[in-house]
Amino acid sequence: MPLRITLRQLEYFIAVCDCGSIALAAQKVHVSSPTISTAIAQLEAEIGLKLFVRRHAQGLSVSQVGRRFLEGARETVAMAHSLGNLANDLAGKVRGDLHVGCLVTFAQIVLPRLRRSFVDTYPEVQFHQYERDQSELFAQLHDASLDVAITYDINIPSDLTFVPLADLPPVAYFSDRHPLAGRSEVSPAELVDLPMILLDLPVSADYFMSIFAGLHTRPRIVEKTRDIAVMRSLVANDFGYSIANIRPLNDRAPDGGKLRFVPISGPARSLRMGVLLSEGTDSSRTVAAFLEHARRHLNNHSAFSLTSP
């Protein structure tokens, strides 16, 4: 009698293996923990194997047979996605699921508007968005839980393809009361001794610190946050300045405080925003359509602003 296994069960199984827990896997795939637990139990019952070793105090870990089953599960899910892409190509249509990640630093500014215009153009696409830091984007492109990602060209692995769309120079964030807020530009030397709010995200934070590399001294960091909205409000309330490579379309922090954005002069390199994808992914008609759509909508900076108001 043939096994009755669903792709969804396999995807949930892979997510639990990758995340190490049902709770984290549930967050990753945006379903409830009981949904994943039920799917795993049904999968184990169908194949007659225990894929996980369950320990009351330590949670669960992948069993020996589970590790072998994982290899086949990955191949099966990847093949199913390939068949879906082939069906779209044969039908000449852009449709199906599209999983798009975006760097959390600018996801709120770039992704919703881009998503809106894309799904209006291609209504048969089921668009799924994920806000992640740089390291998470790399990992999820590698395990195929993301089809593409919008991010900066920082530490890109050699097995991923980066398609540049826009050059974004570094910008200092100040409150409108800061002594440097009215400047046309500011140098790293003028910033290094001032209190700084560091946007402390993996990979990105190293880039912000590199802006001061030529000074042979570190900036005076007084606060760290992983949330760009919190950073903006801290700056607007005069707890320090900060640095980013993109600015919102208005000059208000989330709490209503007023901000100013001043370009940083000197040798600090601009970052490039672009689309990141795994090798061969652009052969998918849906991914290729998204890439072309992103080129049209992001390379002219229409979704954001880079100059002081």
**Model confidence band, residue 308 (pLDDT cutoffs 50, 70, 90):** very low
Do 141 and 202 meet the contact criterion of CB atoms below 8 Å apart?
Answer: no
β-sheet bridge partners, residue 259: 175
**Model confidence band, residue 281 (pLDDT cutoffs 50, 70, 90):** low
- What class, spelled out in words, does domain 7-84 have in CATH? mainly alpha
In terms of pTM, does the model score above 0.75?
A: no
How do residues 36-79 score in pLDDT, each as one tens digit? 889 888 888 888 888 888 776 556 788 888 888 888 888 888 77
> What is the residue-averaged pLDDT of the chain?
86
Q: Where does the chain hold its CATH 3.40.190.10 domain(s)? A: 93-167+271-298, 170-263
Q: What does the pLDDT average to over 218-230?
A: 94
Q: Is the confidence at residue 85, as pLDDT, over 90?
A: no
Q: If we measure between CA atoms, which residue out of 215, 209, 207, 171 comes closest to residue 189?
A: 215
pLDDT value of residue 171: 94
How do residues 187-203 score in pLDDT, each as one tens digit? 999 999 999 999 998 87
CATH of range 93-167+271-298; options 3.40.190.10, 3.40.50.1220, 3.40.640.10, 3.30.70.1140: 3.40.190.10
Question: Around Cβ 118, how many Cβ atoms within 10 Å?
Answer: 20
pLDDT value of residue 29: 81
Question: Around Cβ 181, how many Cβ atoms within 10 Å?
Answer: 19
Rg of the chain over CA atoms, in angstroms? Answer: 22
How do residues 150-186 score in pLDDT, each as one tens digit? 999 988 999 999 999 988 899 999 999 999 999 999 9
pLDDT value of residue 306: 41
With H, G, I as helix, E, B as strand and everything else as coil, classify residue 161.
strand
pLDDT value of residue 309: 29
Question: Around Cβ 16, how many Cβ atoms within 10 Å?
Answer: 27
Q: What does the pLDDT average to over 242-264?
A: 91
pLDDT value of residue 307: 37
What separation in angstroms does the CA of 254 have from each of 36, 92, 104, 258, 259? 35, 44, 16, 9, 11
Q: Is the confidence at residue 127, as pLDDT, over 50?
A: yes
With H, G, I as helix, E, B as strand and everything else as coil, classify residue 180.
coil
pLDDT value of residue 265: 92
Sign (positive/negative) of CA torsion 8, 9, 15, 21? positive
**Model confidence band, residue 262 (pLDDT cutoffs 50, 70, 90):** very high
pLDDT value of residue 2: 62
pLDDT value of residue 232: 95
**Model confidence band, residue 89 (pLDDT cutoffs 50, 70, 90):** low
pLDDT value of residue 86: 63
Q: Where does the chain hold its CATH 1.10.10.10 domain(s)? A: 7-84
Q: What does the pLDDT average to over 103-124?
A: 90
pLDDT value of residue 157: 92
User: Looking at domain 170-263, what is its CATH homologous superfamily?
Assistant: Periplasmic binding protein-like II (3.40.190.10)
Q: Which residue has the higher pLDDT, 196 or 14?
A: 196
Q: Which residue has the higher pLDDT, 3 or 71?
A: 71
